[in-house]
Amino acid sequence: MINKLVNKIKQTGAPIVVGLDPMLNYIPEHVQKKAFAEYGETLEGAAEAIWQFNKEIVDKTCDLIPAVKPQIAMYEQFGIPGLMAFKKTVDYCREKDLVVIGDIKRGDIGSTSAAYAVGHLGKVQVGSKTYAPFDEDFATVNPYLGSDGVNPFTEVCRQEKKGLFILVKTSNPSSGEFQDQLIDGRPLYELVGEKVAAWGADCMGDEYSYIGAVVGATYPEMGKVLRRIMPKAYILVPGYGAQGGQGKDLVHFFNEDGLGAIVNSSRGIIAAYKQDAYAQFGPENFGDASRAAVKAMIDDIGGALADR
């Protein structure tokens, strides 16, 4: 799957991923109204609004982008109906041949991580049958429990040719509280980065490893160091746009080959119609606004990479 991701990035010229993190207040009123008219102001109604919103954005952007990243929390908050919309979104994006990165940030002791791994990336056994319950292509994983919490995920990735992005340095303001603590003079995130490189060495695709890392756009200097520590790891970079990162800050997340990083934008794309720059589209054409925002993001990052 890392080979597919790399190939799709080369084909589209777009090292970007659209974060499908639909808060209800991002969804235009007419979409919400229609869903509530059918299902009421219920969890099912919210799930339907999310699904219709996602579908329009995917339809309007899928030819431009290699991948999407649905954030499962935004679905899970609406309970079972929300999770059904998550699954529907994953399935639809895969039908559209997009690479699906499940932003699930799971991680637990070995036997429990194994359950998450089969549920999200692999197949679960029921009697004599097997099923692929959520069937994302990649998943994000939290490393706090160490190797035996990560290994069950890498094992499933090897079997299924799928991949991971492991949290190394997250984009949020207080990520440094623990991640930046110095151990023998070096921050914890560097140690985690070294582990990611080691875990990934056994799971190589053609050019890059199946095992990637999450490093926030909001910490470009740290991205530069981590790029060197994990040369074969694809870096998933959240925090572009709404969280503050810009194309010029991101060049050091990429290798010299122009590959090695994929930049996520969520709100900046899916709620583009709410920004002044795209207001001319109006809420009715929110999908077209998202398409314009994707193009602007590709230009911003492509320009920054060309200028370096």
Using left for φ > 0, alpha for ψ between -120 and 50, and beta otherwise, residue 67 falls in: beta
- Residue from the set 3, 12, 142, 275 that interacts with a second copy by CB under 8 A: 142
Radius of gyration, CA atoms only, the chain = 19
Query: Is 155 a residue that touches a second copy (CB under 8 A)?
Result: no
- Residue from the set 144, 159, 279, 282 that interacts with a second copy by CB under 8 A: 144
Cβ neighbours around 115 below 10 Å, total: 13
Query: Is 268 a residue that touches a second copy (CB under 8 A)?
Result: no
Direct distance between the N- and C-terminal alpha carbons of the chain, in angstroms, rounded to an integer: 29
Task: State in angstroms the smallest separation of the CB of 190 from a second copy.
Answer: 11
Task: State in angstroms the smallest separation of the CB of 60 from a second copy.
Answer: 24
- Residue from the set 52, 89, 170, 209 that interacts with a second copy by CB under 8 A: 170
Point out the residues that are catalytic: 105
- Residue from the set 188, 259, 304, 305 that interacts with a second copy by CB under 8 A: 188
The site map against a second copy for 113-132 (x = CB under 8 A) is x-xx-xxx---xxxxxx-x-
CA distance 137 to 102: 7
Write b or e for each residue in 125-142: b if 16 or more Cβ atoms lie within 10 A of its Cβ, otherwise e.
Answer: eeeeeeeeebbbbbbbbb
Q: Are 289 and 273 in contact (CB under 8 A)?
A: yes
CA distance 62 to 18: 10
Site size toward a second copy, by CB under 8 A? 73
Query: Is 45 a residue that touches a second copy (CB under 8 A)?
Result: yes
- Residue from the set 13, 79, 282, 303 that interacts with a second copy by CB under 8 A: 79
- Residue from the set 54, 175, 209, 265 that interacts with a second copy by CB under 8 A: 175
- Residue from the set 15, 149, 205, 268 that interacts with a second copy by CB under 8 A: 149
Query: Is 223 a residue that touches a second copy (CB under 8 A)?
Result: no
Q: Are 99 and 138 in contact (CB under 8 A)?
A: yes
Query: Is 133 a residue that touches a second copy (CB under 8 A)?
Result: yes
Classified as helix, coil or strand, 302 is helix
Query: Is 174 a residue that touches a second copy (CB under 8 A)?
Result: yes
Q: Which stretch binds a second copy (CB under 8 A): 40-48, 205-213, 255-263, 296-304?
A: 40-48
Query: How many residues are there in the chain?
Result: 308
Q: Which stretch binds a second copy (CB under 8 A): 10-18, 62-70, 93-101, 144-152?
A: 144-152
Q: Which stretch binds a second copy (CB under 8 A): 187-195, 199-207, 255-263, 295-303?
A: 187-195
Q: Which stretch binds a second copy (CB under 8 A): 2-10, 93-101, 102-110, 286-294?
A: 102-110
Write b or e for each residue in 260-292: b if 16 or more Cβ atoms lie within 10 A of its Cβ, otherwise e.
Answer: bbbbbbbbbbbbbbeeeebeebeeebbbbbbbb
Beta strand 129-131 with 99-106: parallel, antiparallel or unpaired?
Answer: unpaired
Query: Is 109 a residue that touches a second copy (CB under 8 A)?
Result: yes
